[in-house]
Amino acid sequence: MNRRELFANVTGVGAHSEAARACSGADIVPNVPLRTHENVEVRFYDDLVKGRQVLINMMYASCESYCPAITARLVEIHKALAERMGKDLFMYSISLKPAEDGPAALKEFAKMHGALLPGWTFLTGDPYDIETLRFALFRHNHIKLDLDTQAHTGKLRIINDAINRWVHVAPFASKATVLQHISWADPPKTLEQRLEDNRRLQEQIGKEVEQFGYRKVI
Amino acid sequence: MQRRTVLQLLALVSLLAAGSPGSLLAASSCEAEAKRSGTDSTRYFMVLAARTGVFYERSGPSFVALMRAGADDYDVGAVGIYAGANKQPVFGPVPAGSYEEMLREARNSSSDVMLRLELNPAQYERTLNVLRLWERRVREKALLYPDIAMDNILLVKQATEELNRCSRTIVSYNLDWGLQDDISEHNTPLRIPYEYFKELKRLNGAKHVPDPAMPPALLAATHSKE
């Protein structure tokens, strides 16, 4: 009688492996192959994230609850940051149901919600790769929450790969809050820019104190 | 007895593991399971095995093993956490030398737990797909968590939950880190599978397949190192 090993002789992963210690973008963000709503094949890290500031959310075309509302909020965000979109800021919406959402379905979803905008790409791919991506970008390290794919439609991940900064915000927060979180991942400003920002802020504080008797702006 | 590694399986692994467990397993569906004639003499088993007192925080190896005994051949394999060099936990396909001893009836009931369940062909295929998916994740360094203990928890959860996908085969325990999940609440991630298997054995002890009821070839496979 012949014996057959069910699994290949693959070296296992130790508790203190290289992957577990790694902390830079290329090691954290999976470089999985994906397909855009324009049916172009891309590598997620190399082509879309490397060296860029990006906003990433998950959705699916047949979603009738959170996804349309969040997409509408993201359209507002896109309008507020239109000057930067497609230049130094990019938006990616990744399908949670890649088996259902081909490029055409995603393009239709984007068109229906007014999201066919510069710098905004809808993405689909192999379910195995999407699962890898979902855990890498949105996991809670909690089995129940991580297995609830629906919960992942309510998150927005902001990454500035050039400075290795990750920020997270709920897209249902106010537009000002979302924009503020995005700014936390902005490229570092020069001294002149920061002095100018401080001057404007102080000017606004001065006006508010004069008008209301206290500072309102945070 | 001859042992051979079937490299051709790797190609199949890639195909089978192309989807997440939920989506790919749905394809093999309960309809196919119901249509099985039951005339096949091949027998299928899942073994849930874990041990304590091996690693630094008193936990130990824990894995899911699958066994199939046909007329002329048999398959054995396990995926999970085993003790690597210097008794460090390692996650992946478990070497035969590490799993064989733990697939026997537990000798020390205070530190070992082993639950052996007989499966139907569809359950075997589904759980095999789960294990192959994790084998692929190890091979491609695409694990879902930075902590291998968490990956192993997800593996044992997905593999055991496949048993009840089409009909209630075992009394389950909801290992979900929810409010009712005492095991996850009170144990370190490395120890959770041990406690989970212990609880499943308590709930399903009557379904445990003892040594005398096992096909001789499979029983011998767990003693090949002796």
Contact A8 B10 (CB under 8 A): yes
* Domain boundary assignment for chain A: 21-187, 189-218
Percent share of chain B, pLDDT over 90:
61
Q: Which residues in chain B are contacts of A143 at CB distance < 8 A?
A: 150, 153-154, 157, 175-177, 184
Architecture, CATH, for domain A21-187: 3-Layer(aba) Sandwich (3.40)
Q: What is the DSSP string of B162-200?
A: GGGSSS--S-----SSSTT-HHHHHS-TTTHHHHHHHHH
Q: According to the model, what pLDDT value does residue A5 have?
A: 82
CB A13 within 8 A of CB B141: yes
Give the per-residue pLDDT at B114. 95
The kind and range of the H/E element at B10 are helix B8-16
Whether the CB-CB separation of A28 and B28 falls below 8 Å is answered with: no
Q: Is the dihedral of CA B150, B152, B154, B160 positive or negative?
A: negative
Q: Which residues pair with B165 in a beta bridge?
A: none
Residue B33 has what pLDDT?
Answer: 66
pLDDT mean over B107-128: 91
> What pLDDT is attached to residue B15?
36
Inter-chain contact A7–B146, Cβ cutoff 8 Å? no
Which pLDDT tens digit goes with each residue over B180-218? 999 999 999 999 999 999 999 999 999 999 999 998 888
Interface contact B92-A11, CB threshold 8 A: yes
Instruction: For residue B10, list chain A residues with Cβ-Cβ distance below 8 A.
Output: 8
For chain A, which residues score pLDDT lower than 70? 16-23, 152-153, 218
Cβ atoms of B159 and B46 closer than 8 Å: yes
Identify the pLDDT of residue B4. Answer: 36
Q: What is the pLDDT of residues A18-43, one digit of tens each?
A: 554 556 788 889 999 999 999 999 99
Tell me, what's the pLDDT at A103?
A: 97
Asked if residue B18 has pLDDT above 80, the reply is no
Name the β-bridge partners of B3: A3
Q: What percent of chain B has pLDDT over 70?
A: 81
Largest CA distance in chain A: 92
Confidence of residue B25 (pLDDT cuts 50, 70, 90): very low
Could you give the count of Cα atoms lying within 13 Å of B180 in the half-sphere of its Cβ?
Answer: 3
Domain locations along chain B: 39-221
In the predicted structure, residue B10 carries a pLDDT above the cut 70 = no
Q: Which residue of A has its CA nearest to B179?
A: A144
What is chain A's mean pLDDT, rounded? Answer: 91
Say whether the ipTM exceeds 0.90. Answer: no
- Give the C-alpha separation, A129 to A133, whole Å: 6
At A65, the amino acid letter reads S
**Partner residue opposite A12 with nearest CB, options B73, B77, B91:** B91
In this structure, the number of other CB atoms found within 10 A of the CB of residue A37 comes to 25
Q: What is the largest CA-CA distance in chain B?
A: 49
